[in-house]
Each structure stands twice: as C-alpha cells, then as structure tokens.
C-alpha cells in the first residue's frame, strides 16, 4: 500500500511541476533556452532524486539522524490533554491513520535500517 502512496505522491508532484512549467511566461523562457519538458522524464527524475539521497547518506548516518530527530521530538507532558480537548485521539497500531501515514514511526525506521 505504501508503494502506491509513494507513486501517487510522485504523480501529484509531476502534475504540479507540469502545470507550473506550462504557464505561458515560463514555457516561453524554457523553449527559448532549448529545454523541452517530457512528463515521463520528470517522473523518472522525481523517483531517482527521492531515492538518491538515501543511497548517498549511508546507513550509519541515517540511523544517527533518525535517533537525533527522535531525541529532539519530545512532547510536553500536558499535550495529550490538549489533544483530547481538540478531539484528537492517538492512533492505534492497526488503524487507518497508520495506513495513511507518509512515514513509519521513527523506531520502526531505525530498526529497518539496523537489520541487514
């Protein structure tokens, strides 16, 4: 399911880039400079660009960055009460919100990176 969400996100990005670059003023500038936009090549670029950063960073630095992010992500103690006042409940493990999440929890991401 997550791969479909990833592909859908890339298609939305592709659509937005296509719309922006096809504006009359910007399209003329691009054509005058010899740049022709092909939606297929833009989609490939989006996919490779999003995966390339993980390959260049390496496992150890990504694990350290996720652990540092987790340490900085502390929540105040009274936050659950404030969230309950807004009608926001913490998500359950198998809930729909877990399925629609763009990223897995930080602990799960670190465990995935630590396993060979």
pLDDT for 54 equals: 66
User: Residue 48 pLDDT > 80, yes or no?
Assistant: no
> Are residue 39 and residue 16 in the same domain, yes or no?
yes
Question: What is the pLDDT averaged over residues 87-97?
Answer: 61
Same domain? For 80 and 43 the reply is no
Total tally of structural domains belonging to the chain: 2
Q: End-to-end CA distance of the chain, in Å?
A: 23
Identify the band that residue 76 occupies on the pLDDT scale cut at 50, 70 and 90. low
Q: For the full predicted model, state whether its pTM sits above 0.95.
A: no
Q: 101 and 68 in one domain?
A: yes
Same domain, 65 and 116: yes
Cα(101)–Cα(107) distance, integer angstroms: 14
pLDDT surpassing 70 at residue 114? yes
Same domain assignment for residues 43 and 64: no
Residues 12 and 16: their CA atoms lie apart, in Å, by 6
Nearest in space to 44 (alpha carbons), one of 9, 14, 8: 14
* Residues 3 and 51 reside in one and the same domain: yes
Tell me the pLDDT of the chain averaged across its residues. Answer: 73
94 shares a domain with 68: yes
Residue 11 belongs to what domain range?
1-57
On the CB side of 1, CA atoms within 13 Å amount to 9
């Amino acid at each position: 399911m997550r791969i479909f969400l990833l592909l859908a996100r890339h298609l939305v990005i592709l659509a937005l880039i296509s719309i922006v670059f096809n504006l009359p003023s910007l399209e003329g500038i691009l054509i005058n400079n010899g740049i022709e936009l092909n939606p297929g090549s833009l989609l490939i670029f989006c996919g490779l660009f999003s995966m390339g950063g993980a390959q260049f960073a390496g496992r150890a630095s990504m694990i350290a960055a996720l652990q540092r992010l987790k340490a900085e992500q502390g929540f105040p103690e009274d936050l659950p009460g404030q969230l309950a006042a807004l009608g926001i409940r913490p998500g359950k493990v198998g809930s729909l919100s877990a399925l629609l999440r763009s990223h897995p929890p930080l602990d799960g991401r670190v465990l995935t990176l630590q396993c060979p």
